[in-house]
Structure 1
Amino acid sequence: MISRRGLLLGSGALVVGGGAGYALGRIPGESEKSVADVAVARKFRSRPDLDTLPDVTITTPADGTVPGSILLTPFLNTTLRGPLIVDEAGSPIWFKKVPDPATVAVDFKVQKYRGKPVLTWWEGTIGGTGGQGVGQGEFVIADSSYREITRVRAASSEQADQHDFVITEKNTALFWVYDPIAYDLSGKGGPSDGVLHDGLLLEIDIATGAKVFEWRSSEHVSIDESYAPLSTGDSAHLPYDYLHPNSVDVDTDGHLILSARHTWTVYKVHRTTGEVLWRIGGKKSDVTVDDRTAFSWQHDFRRRSDGSYSVFDNGAGVTTEKEYSRGLIFTLDESAKTATFVAEYIHPQKLSAPTQGCFRELSDGGSFVGWGQMPYFTEFAADGTVRLDGHLPLDNQSYRAYKADWAGVPLDQPALGVRVEGEQTLVDVSWNGHTGVATWRILSGSQPGALADKVEAERTGFETEITLTTVPEYVMAEALDATGKTLGSSSAIPIRV
């Protein structure tokens, strides 16, 4: 009686690696029940393969926001893990399940490669040493049709870590590898035949895979800068994660800026020699940091358009240094060697995120914060006003959350779900990833080539339901843009067998 056609994503059981650094966070004042709450499963009749996609809830509706889509990577307590784009109402725009044998996707964002917008994300498995997540995987670059352009890998003996991936203007890629090396840890109270997780920063030519630049933290940053405790007992020979690098970027002068969570320090590194030009924060800061600027266990160190710097100050990790996490902006006077507080952005619930997180500038001077271990994301105006706030299910999380302009045009067809109720036909239609659909037109009739009856309805989210007052032999869907131009169509689907 009912027929359906649609592209189904592959399925398979996924298991997240056991890094304790990705445990569930806590919202101040929230009960155990509310923190463990999970969203009611949605039902997409046109895409039943996405029925378990985690819901995104918008708690503060968009008001004066910078236009754009929100990019997330849900990866806890869900059978569907992968890059997810939603709109400002929390409705899905595009989702791709991570293929086996990878278990999670991380750091999903919009970048430019060869002058064109692309989507990038990391795929792999995340394990843990010393309670922190260390990734082993590779980076994916996809075009505006969601076609995979290439994958960026380290050398055969090295696995790319998930924490950051930056495409430069030279079409090279910067990313980290956590490289275990033999190391004498006796000076810090560990074994003389110990193992160190060396922070290996690589720059790779994307087209050829050739190594352009390499920087090893063990040659420039000593282990006595670390606040991370050594593992003891049976775990004493696990790699000591003394640095835990989690971001890299190119500063305005071409040199590199890095964040290292376990030293509470952000670094500037010479692009050619690898020399550390300055340290801010931690035990060996080269500048004086005022009390309001002091940060700890931080992520996502960036230069802003006005010359200031920003960082996501977790304020908590192995230890708790602050009651809540924040987005922090400060200025640096290199002559006076002082770092001065400018502003901080705090969630209305004063969320504390012991792991993960990001803080990014928007085009109008506002900021977008992903709260990491806490499954929230927030858009702030420059004055700190909350313009948008939302979250994944409270038992989930996304390493980072971004907001960006994105125009996607998938190469497949719209998907239909059709059912008959009495004398009516209910048609559910969606097109995973297409950002230009404004209206759906349903054509119906007695033959596939002669579908004369038409019903139109505005797109109402990822899936739009349209009611026909008859039970035709065949139906098909056409996607229209805001001007009425046809963007694509489904196949004609038989209703009666």
Structure 2
Amino acid sequence: MTESTRVSRRNLLLGVGGAALVGVAGGGLGYTLGHDEPDKTDKSVGATEAAQAGPPKYRSRPDLRTLPDVTITTAANGTVPGYICLTPASGTGLWGPLMVDEKGSPIWFKKVPDPATVAIDFKVQRYRNQPVLTWWEGTIGGTGGQGVGQGEFVIADQSYREITRVRAAGTEQADQHDFVITPRNSALFWVYQPLPYDLTAQGGPKDGVLHDGVIQEIDIATGKLLFSWKAHEHVGLDESYAPLPQGESAHLPYDFFHANSVGLAADGNIIISSRHTWTTYKIDKTSGQIIWRLGGKKSDFTIEEKAKFAWQHDFRQRRDGTYSVFDNGNGVTKVHDYSRGLVMRLDEAARTAKFVTEYVHPDKLSAPTQGSFRELADGGSFIGWGQMPYFTEHNADGTVRLAGHLPLDNQSYRAYKADWTGVPLDQPALGLHVEGGNVIVSASWNGTTKISKWRARSGTQPGALEGANEGPRSGFETTITVQGTPEYVVAEALDATGKVLGASSAIPVRV
């Protein structure tokens, strides 16, 4: 069930100890759980699934039954304000952008469409000088376990309304690896383009196929292509560390480059990361010519030993002019004992790269794929450990001030932390069940960031709710006990001043 799904009170969902009647008004969800035994003759799909699964994780939102838990292992201490953005991927099928607070409690989740659609690279950006959420939706395939995406990017406003979708120019679809909104309200991202290619010089077939990495810059408002750059026109196949597909797979596309990040340098030129060449490139924004290579087989820089990286992700320039990269050190081969967030200082005139510092997970994690490393406002850093479903927030000296993880059978391509204010337009969700002669009220509001406490109002008629019980917000869903069994209950979300931010529908208590 998505947030926009309309269901009538005739739809039955079952929970432990009773039947659940579902009501909707104005786009909000309201659930009422009674204490009677479920009808043993009910054969509806929803009833069967719920009866087998037991009580929902969130009584106000039983559609989020399989939303993965986020566990905090190092409590926040001196962190910068903000929420954590993840894209959990597992076998549950409940895929989508997920925002959680520093305690691991969900703030907002949106399930992406079935079938086989996943969400990747969920983050906060600015578009037309307003904060927005962006993520990629599509399907992922590839050669040799390397993910190549076909999809499009979503931009949503602070009320979680979709502003637009950004698609690649031409016949290709956008790859998932990165999406950067520029100051001129354009978008930079990658397209993976298969090309017929003679691979005999590399030991492959004459009628082979090359997976080319193509940068596109698209004007978001019009969809016009502003800039394009093709890796194979500037980078030789001899720079790659990736093996050719062999045997029966010999005619699959050779992913020689595997681009995984794109962004702007301080001077306005483009900086990119190529995982399979172990190289980051600076590209002239006007001509498309390579200004320099850092790392790999043809590096223009003399690199200090401790600053060398391999199979990397997420290369960026930081505010002080240094550069950072998530150094996997692991991929087709394992080069380093552990992955790390690496900071280095480049002298572009002298062509030298010096080690500045590294950020390491306390467990010395080694991530064979994926990962992200971003600077925070106070000089600290936030790391998503990619294939390893962990995230850490670090002080400037490298010490960990927040750590957590998704379930160990999950992963999140990247993890970010960002300030965000969410103002959803739908209603709060309400779940009720009777226990010990009292009504237990479960209230939530997907996406809101301003709730300080909840108030449950109850009475004999929807227009005559006199009783009021309050409780502080205690995570995604807050529970309040109402004495006795009133006829109707409404849940109200309050801010720190006591102002009502929103109210659920009036839901009847069924006993």
- 1:426 maps to 440
Which residue pairs with 2:132 in the alignment? 118
The answer for the alignment partner of 2:234 in structure 1 is: 220
Q: Following the alignment from structure 1 to structure 2, what is the Cα–Cα distance between the partners of residues 201 and 102?
A: 25
Among 470, 476, 483, the residue aligned to 2:490: 476
Query: Which of 427, 439, 446 pairs up with 2:460?
Result: 446
Give 1:107's aligned residue. 121
Q: For residues 270-289 of structure 1, what are the structure 2 equivalents within 5 Å? A: 270-289=284-303
Match of 2:316 in 1: 302
From 324, 347, 355, the equivalent of 2:369 is: 355
Contact 1:439 1:479 survives alignment (8 Å)? yes
Give the corresponding residue for 2:269.
Answer: 255
For 1:389, give the aligned amino acid: A
Deviation string 1:95-114 (CA, Å, 9 cap, x unpaired) is: 00011245210000000000
Q: Which residue of 2 is the match for residue 26 of structure 1?
A: none
Secondary structure of residue in 1 paired with 2:285 = coil
1:95 partnered with 2:109: yes
Q: Which residue of 2 aligns with 1:326?
A: 340
1:437 corresponds in structure 2 to 451
Q: Quick check: 1:3–1:494 contact (8 Å CA) kept in 2?
A: no
Q: Is the 8 A contact 1:182 1:194 kept in 2?
A: yes
Query: Which runs of structure 2 are paired with 1:12-31 in the superposition (5 Å)?
Result: none
1:54 aligns with 2:50: no
Question: Could you tell me how far apart the structure 1 residues matched to 2:417 and 2:357 are?
Answer: 20
Alignment of 1:407-426 (within 5 A): 407-426=421-440
Structure 1 residue aligned with 2:471: 457
1:207 aligns with 2:216: no
Question: Structure 2: which amino acid aligns with 1:214?
Answer: S
Structure 2 letter corresponding to 1:194: G
Residue 151 of structure 1 aligns with an amino acid whose one-letter code is: R
8 Å Cα contact 2:79-2:393 kept in structure 1: yes
Given residue 148 of structure 1, which amino acid in structure 2 is its aligned partner?
Answer: E
Contact 1:4 1:416 in 2 (8 A): no
For residues 67 and 42 of structure 1, the distance between their equivalents in structure 2, rounded to whole angstroms, comes to 31
Deviations 1:39-85 (A, max 9, x none): x9971000000011000000000000011000000011223110000
Tell me if structure 2 keeps the 8 A contact 1:264–1:295: yes
Counterpart contact for 2:242–2:256, Cα < 8 Å:
yes
Residue number in structure 2 paired with 1:312: 326
Residue 188 of structure 2 aligns with which residue?
Answer: 174
Cα RMSD (Å): 1.6
CA distance in structure 2 between the aligned counterparts of 1:458 and 1:194, rounded to whole angstroms: 63
Q: In the TM superposition, what are the counterparts of 1:136-215 in structure 2 within 5 Å? A: 136-215=150-229
How far apart are 1:2 and its partner, in Å?
Answer: 6.0
Q: Is the 8 Å Cα contact of residues 41 and 55 (structure 1) preserved in structure 2? A: no
Q: Distance in 2 between matches of 1:386 and 1:235?
A: 44
Secondary structure of 1:164's counterpart equals strand
Matched position secondary structure for 1:163 = strand
Tell me the distance in 2 between the aligned counterparts of 1:234 and 1:86. Answer: 44
TM-score (norm 1): 0.92
Q: Match of 2:196, SS? A: strand
Structure 1: runs of 5 or more not aligned = 13-39
Q: Which residue in the other structure is 2:4 paired with?
A: none
Give, in whole Å, the separation in 2 of the partners of 1:48 and 1:156: 41
Aligned to 2:7: none
Residues 1:424 and 1:352: Cα distance change in structure 2 (over 3 Å) = same
Dislocated runs of 4+, deviation >6 Å: none
CA distance in 1: counterparts of 2:389 and 2:179, whole angstroms: 21
Q: What CA distance in whole angstroms lies between the structure 1 residues aligned with 2:133 and 2:67?
A: 20
Determine if contact 1:91/1:461 at 8 Å carries over to the other structure: yes
Q: Give the drift of 1:232.
A: 1.2
Pick the aligned partner of 2:480 from 445, 448, 466.
466
- CA–CA distance in structure 2, aligned partners of residues 76 and 158 of structure 1: 27
Matched letter for residue 173 of structure 2:
Q
Deviations 1:216-245 (A, max 9, x none): 011100100000000111111111000000
Structure with more relative contact order (C-alpha pairs < 8 Å, separation 6 or more): 1
Question: Which of 253, 258, 283 is equivalent to 1:244?
Answer: 258
What displacement does 1:358 show?
0.3
C-alpha spacing 1:42/1:264, structure 2 compared with 1 (3 Å): farther
Normalised by the length of structure 2, the TM-score is 0.90
Q: CA deviation at 1:496?
A: 3.5
Shift of 1:378: 0.1
Match of 1:24 in 2: none
Task: Note closer, same or farther for the CA distance 1:304–1:444 as it changes in structure 2 (3 Å cut).
Answer: same
2:29, 2:486 → 1: CA distance?
25
Deviates more, 1:76-85 or 1:351-360: 76-85
Distance, in Å, in 2 between the alignment partners of 1:445 and 1:76 is 43
Question: Residue in 1 aligned with 2:349?
Answer: 335
Counterpart of 1:75?
A: 89
The DSSP-based 3-state class of the residue aligned with 1:224 is: helix
Retained in 2: the 8 A contact 1:310–1:330?
Answer: yes
Q: Deviations over 1:361-391 (max 9, x none)?
A: 0000000000000000000000011000000
Q: Does 1:405 align with 2:419?
A: yes
CA distance in 2, matches of 1:399, 1:276: 28
The question of whether the paired residues in 2 share the 8 Å contact of 1:3 and 1:493 is answered with no
Conserved? CA contact 1:176–1:200, under 8 Å? yes
**Do 2:29 and 2:429's aligned partners in 1 also have CA atoms closer than 8 Å?**
no
Partner SS, residue 234 of structure 1:
helix
Asked if the contact 2:239–2:297 (Cα under 8 Å) also holds between the matched residues in 1, the reply is: yes
- Cα offset for 1:344? 0.3
Residue by residue over 1:226-278, the C-alpha shift from the partner in whole angstroms, topping out at 9 and shown as x without a partner, is 00000111111111000000000011110000000000000000001000000
The one-character-per-residue Cα deviations of 1:387-445 (angstroms, maximum 9, x if unpaired) are 00000001100000000001001110000100112320101000000000111011100
Q: Deviations along 1:100-145, whole A, 9 cap, x unmatched?
A: 2452100000000000000000001111212211111110000000
Does the CA-based 8 Å contact 1:41-1:52 persist in structure 2?
no
Return the alpha-carbon distance in structure 2 between the equivalents of residues 320 and 375 of structure 1.
19
Q: SS of the counterpart of 1:446? A: strand
How far apart are 1:336 and its partner, in Å?
A: 1.1
Q: What is the identity, as a one-letter code, of the residue corresponding to 1:206?
A: I
- CA separation in 2, counterparts of 1:4 and 1:378? 39
One-letter amino acid matched to 1:322 = H
